[in-house]
Amino acid sequence: MRLDVAIDFKGRIPIKVIKQLTKNRVAFQYKNTTYYKTPKEKKTNRVMDIKIYDKSLYAKLDYPLYRLEFVFKSEYLNKIKLKDIQDIYPKIAKTIKKYTNLTVTINDIFKI
């Protein structure tokens, strides 16, 4: 199981967010995506991935749209059941604040 949380920015992602991400993580470029990994993670991680990419390239938009995406994987979600997924939203919001200094509210795109 994994949970993706995407934050879209019209135009470039603020420098403050990039600086906060690079405090403990190293940028790793692969094709059109920049991944932020800790030095010991290397290429795989069972807990969380952080990536930035130009969404306007993928969606063929006529305006610039950059996406900061957090992918929370099974080790982070800790055997939580799908019906209880809302219970982990505050923990996810706290993690995003820790890594980016952004205050976020997580909304469901589906109802169970």
pLDDT of residue 108: 77
Q: Do the domain assignments include residue 110?
A: no
Q: Do the domain assignments include residue 83?
A: yes
pLDDT of residue 34: 93
**pLDDT, average across residues 63-81:** 91
Total-model pTM = 0.86
Q: Do the domain assignments include residue 108?
A: no
Question: How many separate domains does the chain show?
Answer: 1
pLDDT of residue 92: 93
Question: How many other C-beta atoms can be found within 10 angstroms of the C-beta atom of residue 79?
Answer: 7
Q: Do the domain assignments include residue 109?
A: no
At 60, list the tokens: 């063929």
The residue ranking higher by pLDDT, 48 or 39, is 48
For residues 73 and 1, give the distance between their C-alpha atoms in angstroms, rounded to a whole number.
6
Q: Do the domain assignments include residue 24?
A: yes
Best CA proximity match to 99, nearest among 9, 17, 13, 5: 17
pLDDT of residue 67: 95
User: Which 8-state DSSP code applies to residue 54?
Assistant: E
Q: Do the domain assignments include residue 86?
A: yes
Q: Do the domain assignments include residue 14?
A: yes
pLDDT of residue 28: 87
| Confidence label for 110 from pLDDT (cuts 50, 70 and 90) | low
Q: Do the domain assignments include residue 112?
A: no
Q: Is the pLDDT of residue 81 over 70?
A: yes
User: Which 8-state DSSP code applies to residue 86?
Assistant: G
Q: Is the pLDDT of residue 112 over 60?
A: no
| Confidence label for 19 from pLDDT (cuts 50, 70 and 90) | very high
Q: Which domain holds residue 60?
A: 3-100
Q: Is the pLDDT of residue 4 over 70?
A: yes
